[in-house]
Structure 1
Amino acid sequence: MKGPRETGFAYQAVYRYLTCLISESVGDAGMRLPSLRSLADRLKVSISTIQYAYSLLEKEGRVYSVAKSGYYALPVSCAGLQHNGDDLLETVYINARRPGMLVLSADEPALLQPLDSPLLLLERELLRQYPRQPQSSSQPCGELELRTALAARYTTSAARCWHAEDVFIGADLRGVLEILIAVLGLKDATVIVESPCDWSILRLLQASDVRVIELPQQADGGLDVGRLKQHLESEPIRLVMLSSVLNMPHGSLAPDGNREAIVRLLERYDGWVWENDCYGELGFDADGVKIRELLPPERLMVFSTFEKIIGPEAPFGYLLSRHLTVQLRRHFLLRSFRLSPIRQKAIARLYSNGRIDQHLQVLRRLLKERKSHLVTLLEERLGDALEFVEPQGGATIWVRSLRQVNMRRVFQRLLIQQIVIAPGELFSLQGLHGQHLRLSHTFAGDHDLAAALGLLGDALRLESTD
């Protein structure tokens, strides 16, 4: 615990260690946890550090204390959390939070290498430099220092430049997109999205009464330009949403020629273009051409989040737009996001001092290594059952069953084995991808991935409808 790179946040390591212990307690009776002194001796940290970690878990309802006896785990009943409702997404979310589950459905790239410790250390230093003011000045669109840092990072030339006033920061990506939907008046409008598409974005559009047309990605990651042209000619399309460069969850890089053809087509029609840049910096090798490098900024809005590269300590979402700035400022002001100015300053310093770029180099390497390991296991153990496009970035692999299967039943069968997958139907509103699933190669805890894939193979064979 106390190595040469001691971060000062040893309680986080203790917290993670204890959550693993709690996950092993799968019964209804509380499991007694190690005493403060024994755990301090075992992990070579102070008793106060152990006490602080326990107090966090107690506030979360994960443990409880008994006078003169110690701390006990509060495991969540497996029977109570399996959830028998019809909402598949809700079932995935609930079961992913069950103790002891192997979550192969998540999309958390930063889980391998979170940047939380450097972020929190920098935040602590800034708190000393910027003492709390009786009444801080309001910055409803985000901290100016962070907006300036993002504008500089996205500027690539004099023609394709951004300024701080073009950047808007919200508490999370969903909140930012809700504002965009309201400002653009997308209720009852028609939009085109790539498919498969992130389920959180699809559900948000659905809840906002937006009509969604899904344009399936081809095997090479490109889109059918002729089909897109047909949609643009046959009905009024208010918005087209495209990945900046890395198509997720498909994991592919669209050919540059395909992107150029799409942009040339979009320039001939009215409507907005959203660039989803959440995975723009998570490609393993050389990136392809980004949408914003091809399309003039006059019709473009770019959105992203820090969470994919920094981790859950930086959940903020952000938007870059040269348009409708008065309306956007008004909506951000009315939303009154409660954002920590010091946390935003700390993120800005991570960009300006080069720490983000150093971190991304390490994160990409780790993601690529884990991807290669999972690909090897899939080819060795499930080569006759699944096919997939080898991903060019990110933390997931998009696979398709070679047999006709009932993927919901596969999902339910694996839940009994304490494994959570993400069936492909989650990534469509129109019933597409029923034979697909998304697998993650980043997960917490000590699990036997090879054994889990064996169980996946068994479930696919047992639920085959061929």
Structure 2
Amino acid sequence: MKRYEALADDIARSIRNGLLKPGERLPSVRQSSASRKLSPATIFQAYYRLEAQGLVESRARSGYYVTRAAAALPPEPETPSRPDGESREVDVSELVFEILQSAMTRDVVPLGSAFMSPTLFPLDRIGRAMATAAQHLDPWSTVDDLTPGNAALRRQIALRYLIDGMDVGADEIVITNGALEALNLCITAVTQPGDAVLVESPCFYATLQSLERNGLRAIEVPTHPRDGIDLDALEAAIARHAPRACWLMPTFQNPLGSTMPEERKRALVDLLARHRIPLVEDDVYAELHFAGKRALPAKAFDREGWVMHCSSFSKSLAPGYRIGWVAAGPRAQEIARRKLTTTLNTNVPAQIAIARYLERGGFDRHLRRLRTTLAGQQARYLEVIAQAFPQGTRVTRPAGGYFLWLELPEGADALHLQQRASRMGISIAPGPMFSASRGFGSCLRLNCGHPLDARIGTALQELGKLAGTSPL
């Protein structure tokens, strides 16, 4: 754990145990720097982290104060998951389709959705860039760089890696139809049907669906709701099962929101490299951090080409455009060949439009606004959950992204809760859809990526009442 994280956790504990009261002013950065013998930058990072968690607020020319609602927030989950460690076939698609189908309408309150509000994106600007790209399309651009993708877009993505200190060449990047295609291309490139793949527990249901579709077995590894996958358990699973690949989301993991500290990401990459196990890294939420700079991906610590880094613009800029990519390193040519035999190409005008938008420098301004909005929304959702949900509920406080993971009191049935909520026009994502073993029966994931208007506020209140009643 980094120094600013340890300091933030220490202050958070003081707030929750009542030592620091709502409305109370925190020591100034200068005072904290002197008393704790830490740099001002470290103090600022800690305060930014607490602000992102909704525990403190900044007041102009006055300093940082404990928020009024901070002391009343539910506690965070503190223990890692405990899967049985078996290698098993995956059979979740029917459950996932059944749950998602009930929520695929605008009339349903989207607390179970995987997507944030489309109103938060600069779709008008992207649309104008798209129109220009289509009107002035060079006919040869439809065949140039056909499978790896538009050269200008790959260059812009490579430049963003360079800003983070990563040497990723444009020729290592393959543009895909969203991150999901990139992830699927990667996992099929390094496995055969029947192979075992290491995954987090819980993990994103689309990961499990991909393993199911490709005839792969899942090994669920204990995962901490704040710090990510347990490396000791991961090493034990490697020794026991000899897996052929590892598929993880180390930053703002879906559904937990957990982020592995950088030193643990480095240790993860070293561990997998020693055992010659490729890592498929899903990193679609990394741009949505609330404070400080973007967390480095596991790819940043890859020196031998074992990490295939997948991301997209769908979660940060252009939902629906389906522009993703993989930085595949030495496997880039193999990934491009696999794409050649499946989808062949990705929408050319959309690639050109996003490349032009990136070239003009608007992306980072948009991201700053989006991050501030999402941090504020998370804080407001937490306040309502604290008031509406039953005693004993635990809720994560991710430092980015737009998901909250709730552990309901003992005896709660998330699948039953989902069915009752669905009849009321409220969608939720129950815990069992994130587990090959159908675990997490008393857990659920909530989407806080939509502005908390009266409709959503009422839905949260009703959901809290349902969660406080016994299953029928």
Same fold at TM > 0.5: yes
Compared CA separation, residues 274 and 175, structure 1 to 2 (3 A): closer
Structure 1 match to 2:88: none
- Find the aligned partners of 1:121 and 1:345 in 2 and give their Cα distance: 12
| Partner of residue 115 from structure 2, selected from 89, 108, 120 | 108
Give % identity. Answer: 23
Structure 1 match to 2:9: none
Structure 2 match to 1:236: 242
Q: Deviations over 1:261-289 (max 9, x none)?
A: 33333332111012211111111112444
- Find the aligned partners of 1:387 and 1:276 in 2 and give their Cα distance: 26
Structure 1 match to 2:259: 253
- Find the aligned partners of 2:216 and 2:141 in 1 and give their Cα distance: 43
| Partner of residue 408 from structure 2, selected from 365, 388, 401 | 401
- Report how far residue 130 of structure 1 moved: 3.3
- Find the aligned partners of 1:241 and 1:140 in 2 and give their Cα distance: 24
Structure 2 match to 1:263: 269
- Counterparts in 2 of 1:295-310, with a 5 A limit? 295-296=302-303, 298-310=305-317
Residue type of the partner of 2:466? A
| Partner of residue 173 from structure 1, selected from 162, 170, 179 | 179
- Report how far residue 408 of structure 1 moved: 1.4
- Report how far residue 382 of structure 1 moved: 1.6
Structure 2 match to 1:376: 383
Structure number with greater Rg is 1
Structure 2 match to 1:281: 287
Residue type of the partner of 2:215? D
- Counterparts in 2 of 1:314-463, with a 5 A limit? 314-382=321-389, 384-443=391-450, 447-463=454-470
| Partner of residue 196 from structure 2, selected from 182, 190, 193 | 190
Compared CA separation, residues 188 and 122, structure 1 to 2 (3 A): same
**Which sits farther off after the overlay, 248-257 or 208-217?**
248-257
- Report how far residue 255 of structure 1 moved: 3.0
Unaligned runs of 5+ in 1: 1-84
Compared CA separation, residues 180 and 341, structure 1 to 2 (3 A): same
| Contact 1:388–1:397, Cα closer than 8 Å, also in 2 | yes
Compared CA separation, residues 417 and 323, structure 1 to 2 (3 A): same
| Contact 1:389–1:399, Cα closer than 8 Å, also in 2 | yes
Q: Deviations over 1:165-199 (max 9, x none)?
A: 11111223333333223322342111111222111
Q: Deviations over 1:418-441 (max 9, x none)?
A: 111110111111122111100111
Structure 2 match to 1:88: 95
**Which sits farther off after the overlay, 129-138 or 418-427?**
129-138
| Contact 2:142–2:348, Cα closer than 8 Å, also in 1 | no
| SS state at 1:87 partner | helix
Structure 2 match to 1:32: none
Structure 1 match to 2:209: 203
Structure 1 match to 2:226: 220
Compared CA separation, residues 393 and 296, structure 1 to 2 (3 A): same
Compared CA separation, residues 138 and 144, structure 1 to 2 (3 A): closer
| Contact 2:93–2:209, Cα closer than 8 Å, also in 1 | no
- Find the aligned partners of 1:165 and 1:134 in 2 and give their Cα distance: 17
- TM-score, normalised relative to structure 1: 0.75
Higher relative contact order (Cα pairs below 8 Å, separated by 6+ residues): 2
Structure 2 match to 1:9: none
- Find the aligned partners of 2:329 and 2:458 in 1 and give their Cα distance: 51
Compared CA separation, residues 138 and 151, structure 1 to 2 (3 A): closer
- Find the aligned partners of 2:269 and 2:177 in 1 and give their Cα distance: 31
| Contact 1:170–1:337, Cα closer than 8 Å, also in 2 | no
- Find the aligned partners of 2:394 and 2:274 in 1 and give their Cα distance: 37
Q: Does 2:159 match 1:161?
A: no
| SS state at 1:253 partner | coil
Q: Deviations over 1:133-153 (max 9, x none)?
A: 697546122111111211221
- Find the aligned partners of 2:174 and 2:149 in 1 and give their Cα distance: 6
Residue type of the partner of 2:211? L
